Amino acid sequence: MAQDKYKFVFTANEAASEGVTEPIRLPKLIRKAMSLARGQISKYKIGAVGRASSGRVYLGVNVDFPGLPLHHSIHPEQFLVTNLALNFEKGLRQLAVAISNDCIEFGAPCGNCRQFLMETSNEVDIKILLKSKHEAEGSFGKLKLLLPYRFSPDDVLPKGSPLLLEKRDNCLILSRSAGEICSSDCSHLKCKALAAANNSFSPYTDSPSGVALRDEDGILYRGWYIESVAYSPSLGPVQAALVDFVARSRGKGFDKIVEAVLVEKNNARVSQEGMAKMILDTIAAPNCDFKVFHCDVDFQKSILVNSDR
């Protein structure tokens, strides 16, 4: 159906109607995922299909940014997990990643994405579909077996620390110079970006940040910084917001983005301003209005939130 052409999230019943009646059938949606990929630089269209703890099925795609080096691109596994986070899913159960253009072979994520997946709250339960071109269905293997000598959040964070895909509130408030914020359902970009920053996963550098975007039709998108213990697989807030844009904009080009706001902590150890500006200057509308606001921790609220854990 035409209205489903840009669909990235499927309910269990919708996935079943596409042939995904059980996890081993996730590849039934892989061609749909690959058709949505934005591999303008690499020329490869790579797709991933994952099943969340809720039973919903998500698509992941590679996203390149014309004019920028490939190391700024988003891998399909990163896209999928970020979209899980943006939709407040609690976990990822199974994942299938196509490693051939004919959608016959399915393999392990690259090392970068294996490490990224390690940040999720249920990483020990994630299963990856492994299938050669000689197999009819393939089989699932556990993520932890693909990283036998892994460097994981458990090696750094205190026991019981909330991980990616777990509920969090960074208790941030805008600095006085940024002015007041409105209710969470307002349409002000700085308020949306602050809300995104409060969901940001940055336990290693304590540098939460969020980005909100507006396109020429007035539609809002948001995303937040997702950090990796290995650092290099981390995904910046503007890339995360662009995941939301790709997933919900129904095929619009990045040049339709006309306004953007970044919210980050005062004196953050890791500032996102330079990277966000560089990406948006390259791909967004020529007259895209980019603003940066700073925030601080509301310590009174932080004490209340932490006491409830």
Does residue 150 have a pLDDT over 60? yes
Encoded tokens for 187 = 């349409």
Full-model pTM: 0.93
In a shared domain, residues 205 and 177? yes
- The single residue listed with the structure tokens 């990929």 is 37
* Residue 288 in marked binding region: no
- The single residue listed with the structure tokens 């020990």 is 124
In a shared domain, residues 95 and 206? no
Does residue 184 have a pLDDT over 80? no
Q: Is residue 163 part of a domain?
A: no
* Residue 113 in marked binding region: yes
Confidence of residue 187 (pLDDT cuts 50, 70, 90): confident
Q: pLDDT tens, 12-69?
A: 999 999 999 999 999 999 999 999 999 878 777 889 999 999 999 999 999 999 999 8
Does residue 2 have a pLDDT over 50? no
- Residue 172, classified by CB atoms within 10 Å of its CB into exposed (0-12), middle (13-18) or buried (19+), is buried
- Please give the pLDDT value at position 90: 94
Q: How far is CA 217 from CA 21, 54, 194, 213, 221, in A?
A: 37, 32, 22, 11, 12
Confidence of residue 306 (pLDDT cuts 50, 70, 90): low
Does residue 1 have a pLDDT over 70? no
Find, among 109, 123, 101, the residue nearest to 43 by Cα. 101
* Residue 75 in marked binding region: yes
| Rounded mean pLDDT, 260-275 | 96
Q: Which of 102, 123, 155 is the last residue of a domain?
A: 155
* Higher pLDDT among residues 299 and 233, named by residue: 233
| Rounded mean pLDDT, 163-187 | 80
Core vs surface per residue 67-86: b (16+ CB within 10 A) or e: eeeeebbbbbbbbbbbbbbb
Encoded tokens for 169 = 């509130």
Confidence of residue 177 (pLDDT cuts 50, 70, 90): low
The answer to whether 205 and 264 are in contact (CB under 8 A) is no
- Please give the pLDDT value at position 160: 86
Catalytic center residues: 77
In a shared domain, residues 151 and 178? no
Report the range of poorest mean pLDDT among 95-109, 179-193, 212-226. Answer: 179-193
Does residue 117 have a pLDDT over 80? yes
Domains in the chain, number: 2
Residues of the domain holding 267: 172-308
Q: Is residue 185 part of a domain?
A: yes
Encoded tokens for 111 = 């090392």
Q: How far is CA 9 from CA 53, 171, 208, in A?
A: 13, 29, 26
